[in-house]
Amino acid sequence: MNRFKSSALSLAAAFAATACSPVPGQAADPAHPTVVELFQSQGCSSCPPANANLLAVADRPDILALSFGVTYWDDLGWKDTFAKDQFTRRQWDYAHGLHHSNVFTPQVVVNGRRDGVGARPGDFAGLIRAGERGLGGPAVSLDKGFVSLGAAAAPARPADVWLVRYDPRVVQVPIKRGENGGKTLPHRNVVRELARVGAWSGAAGRLALPPAADPNLKTAILVQLPGGGPILAAARG
């Protein structure tokens, strides 16, 4: 058993919760997508089932599915081709925000509010239902290099505004070594850029966005309480 799998198994049974828009709405519609983040590694033999579940919902207009490669498997035989230290730090933020003592893969985080392993389709679907963020949060719209944020009830502390750039294409990755050696694993909606572009404290505002380094990447915005807190709003271009 690998050094992270035991943590994942012990946590899987105990996952729980952590913790007005001009156009308010429930999450789980195209204007207010549910944000489903998968933290995984190409070197993790437990990750392909959760990755398959993410691929299965990637086309749903009510879901923003994002795949983050983490780095802490890179010394076990295979270096993840998409992993960044920044993404590992984001997962550690969620560990703190969700009151976990460690990080693990696979980990599915829904709206920053619920998390689990997500390897079984039923469990994955249950996390999406349980992570509903309900009413509230600012209206968010993207247009020509800017993001507009609507006025809404101010959060207890300023929320971070994150720019996410991800690849919507299916990328087949041949794994040559490690636990998944000999397999070719499909990846989709792989996050390639993540940057904090500002803050939101309840007032309407507009923020400029840097151009994408790769024109094939799609753009999304997350409005999120700091330190791995709940996601208040999300939109994609």
180-236 pLDDT tens trace: 999 999 999 999 999 999 999 999 999 999 999 899 999 999 999 999 999 999 999
- Adjacent-strand bridge partners of 75: none
Hey, is 87 helix, strand or coil? helix
Maximal CA-CA distance, the chain: 52
The rounded distance, in Å, linking the Cα atoms of 108 and 127 is 8
Q: Do 41 and 68 touch, CB atoms closer than 8 A?
A: no
β-pair type (184-187, 171-174):
antiparallel
- pLDDT number for residue 5: 38
- pLDDT number for residue 186: 98
Count of Cβ atoms closer than 10 Å to residue 176 Cβ: 11
- pLDDT number for residue 135: 77
| pLDDT tens-place string over residues 84-114 | 999 999 999 999 999 999 999 999 999 999 9
The angle that helices 47-57 and 121-130 make with each other, rounded to 10 degrees, is: 60
The rounded distance, in Å, linking the Cα atoms of 66 and 36 is 6
Average pLDDT over residues 29-48: 96
| pLDDT tens-place string over residues 130-185 | 999 887 899 999 998 999 999 999 999 999 999 999 999 999 999 999 999 999 99
Helices in 101-188 by DSSP H: which ranges? 121-130
User: DSSP letter at 169?
Assistant: S
The rounded distance, in Å, linking the Cα atoms of 34 and 220 is 12
| pLDDT tens-place string over residues 2-27 | 433 333 333 333 333 222 222 333 45
What is the band of 38 on the pLDDT scale with cuts at 50, 70, 90? very high
- Residue 122 backbone dihedrals phi, psi, to 5 degrees: -65, -40
- pLDDT number for residue 28: 64
The rounded distance, in Å, linking the Cα atoms of 33 and 73 is 30
Q: What is the dihedral of CA 221, 226, 228, 231, to 10 degrees?
A: -40
